[in-house]
A and B are shown apart, each in its own frame.
Chain A
């Protein structure tokens, strides 16, 4: 079975500071990994994904994540936080296959301090 653990249900950073949201996964097969963002009262938007190949993945809005198999991690980073980054962030994992389903972590609320 697959699972995702997001460390910290709330993270606060100052505007302009580094954003680091932590995600660890468990999977018995090579995983597909995702980060989604959810703004208030909206749906989920895909930030970035890792399937195969390069382990450093760049996404939208200046975010990136690095797949580290040895650490079973897929942490999300952004060099400089912006007020508009305040949202809920979800790490997710899937394994492919016909009955593929994405398993989500419990989410991390990112607060940006002025």
Chain B
């Protein structure tokens, strides 16, 4: 009965590959997010979706493409992976503006 679940938890892949990370929430929230946490623990928002509509698209390379098939799911596809993409990617969801987010446990992506 995990609230926000991400798969996979760990992902090791070679440069140039394409990979996807999946996220699902069972909280009934209408907004979902992707955050990137770098090696220095700094968290930065990448995207947000509200009811399947893209709301926030920060300055992220277009190799990153989010997709939201419904309001309970938000996936992240990354093309042509680079070494600098290595990080922990967190999915989150929220319902009430300003109410805080519920985070998933993260996906540690390592590009070799």
Residues on A facing B (Cβ under 8 Å): 32, 34, 36, 38, 42-46, 49, 51, 88, 90, 94-104, 106-107
Residues of A within 8 A of B44 (CB): 104
B50 at the interface (CB under 8 A from A): yes
A99 to B57, CA, bound (A): 10
Q: By the criterion CB–CB under 8 Å, are B98 and A100 in contact?
A: yes
Contact A98 to B50, CB < 8 A, known contacts A42-B105, A43-B90, A44-B90: yes
B61: CB under 8 A from chain A? Answer: no
Considering the chains assembled together, what is the distance between the CA atoms of A88 and B41 in angstroms?
A: 9
Q: Roughly how many angstroms separate A100 CA and B92 CA in the complex, as a whole number?
A: 13
Can you offer 9 A-B residue contacts whose CB atoms are under 8 A? A43-B4, A46-B100, A96-B98, A99-B48, A100-B98, A102-B100, A102-B101, A104-B43, A106-B40
Query: A90 to nearest B CB, angstroms?
Result: 7
Given the complex, which residues of A lie within 8 Å of B31, measured CB to CB?
A: 100
Closest to A34 in B: B100
B104 at the interface (CB under 8 A from A): yes
CB distance from B13 to the nearest CB of A (A): 19
B15-47 CB contacts (< 8 Å) to partner A: 31, 33, 40-45
By CB atoms of chain B within 10 A, which of A94, A95, A99, A100 has the most? A100
CA distance in complex: A64, B106 (Å): 26
Given contacts A49-B99, A100-B98, 4 further A-B contacts (CB under 8 A): A43-B106, A90-B43, A104-B42, A107-B41
With contact pairs A51-B99, A101-B48 given, residues A106 and B41 touching in the complex (Cβ less than 8 Å): yes
A97/B41 contact (C-beta < 8 A), A43-B103, A43-B106 known: no
